[in-house]
Amino acid sequence: MWNTVNEQISQAMHFDFKHTSKRQLQSPSSDKLFQISDGIHQYFVKIAHRGDLERFENEAHNLQLLTQESLFMVPDCITTGASIEFSFIVLEWLELDQQPHTNWHVMGSHLASLHLKHRQAMFGFDHDNFIGPTTQPNHWHKKWNIFFAEERIGWQLQLLHEKGIELVDKDYFVAFVKDMLHSHIVQPSLLHGDFWRGNMGFIHSVPSLFDPSCYYGDREVDIAMSELFAPLPDAFYIAYNKHYPLTQDYEQRKLIYQLYPILNHANIFAGHYLTEAKQQIERLLK
């Protein structure tokens, strides 16, 4: 497989590349992560099963879109490909600054700048993609409440149903979400889609994003996600609100937006995330 990786990097970069060092990195997922180098050039490589090639191709597309539309430092995709057994994506190697960092206000203003672009009239994306290993459907919808209820919450509940897990009556809860978001006026923004601390950093103090799950939706989804697992420093939220203030009723919607990544974790990992998802649904239905 590594011969294939070397060959495709050589073709993409127009010079003969053969790695002389390979270091495996810690991975939060089932993907295997590596830093490879020929002593001069360094690359970041993700490896998964051959069937994951589509996921890597989607990631490459999302990274390119964020590069075009945002002020963030986004790694370039060098190439994607597959061998007989494995698929891979090769990215530009970006050395992240050591934390803690003092430029969170710039991270906030950059995200607001991205969200302030309203270039789509509808909610969704040109194709389905992935959030982590999970397929993320993105059929276009005119109404945000229908998109989020069906393409996000309903989809995750259906995936759980197919595993024999019933946290709530799916049809009832999808209708509940539609009603909850019905009066919320939204202009579609390009979202990172998986905006939590593990998918961001700084390179020479410039904010950087990676591992996107892009689509056009309510910008509050990115903010809610940022508050879920490890809230960002206050400077981020202060700067974001300075450039693109959140409305007072955002707090009412935050729980439903945070339910989506919780359900996704329940589908991937089960365990305590199933309990957390059930509790979140009960809070919303009170």
Token pair in block for residue 158: 């259906």
- CA distance to 120, 200, 206, 216, 248, per residue, from 117 (Å): 9, 21, 21, 11, 21
Q: How far is CA 126 from the centre of its chain?
A: 16
CA separation for the pair 90, 46 (Å, rounded): 7
Q: Which two tokens stand for residue 132?
A: 């982590």
- If 0-12 CB within 10 Å is exposed, 13-18 middle and 19+ buried, where does residue 259 land? buried
Is 194 catalytic? The answer is yes
Q: Which tokens hold the place of 203?
A: 């390179």
Pairwise CA distance, residues 278 & 213, whole Å:
24
DSSP letter, residue 155: H
Query: What are all long-range contacts of 106-109, with beta carbons under 8 Å and residues at least 24 apart?
Result: 106/205, 106/206, 106/207, 106/239, 107/200, 107/202, 107/207, 107/232, 107/236, 107/239, 108/232, 108/235, 108/236, 108/237, 108/238, 108/239, 108/240, 108/241, 108/242, 108/243, 109/239, 109/240, 109/242, 109/243
Residue 178 · residue 145 · CB < 8 Å: yes
Q: Given 31, 52, 194, 211, which residue is catalytic?
A: 194
- Catalytic residue IDs: 194
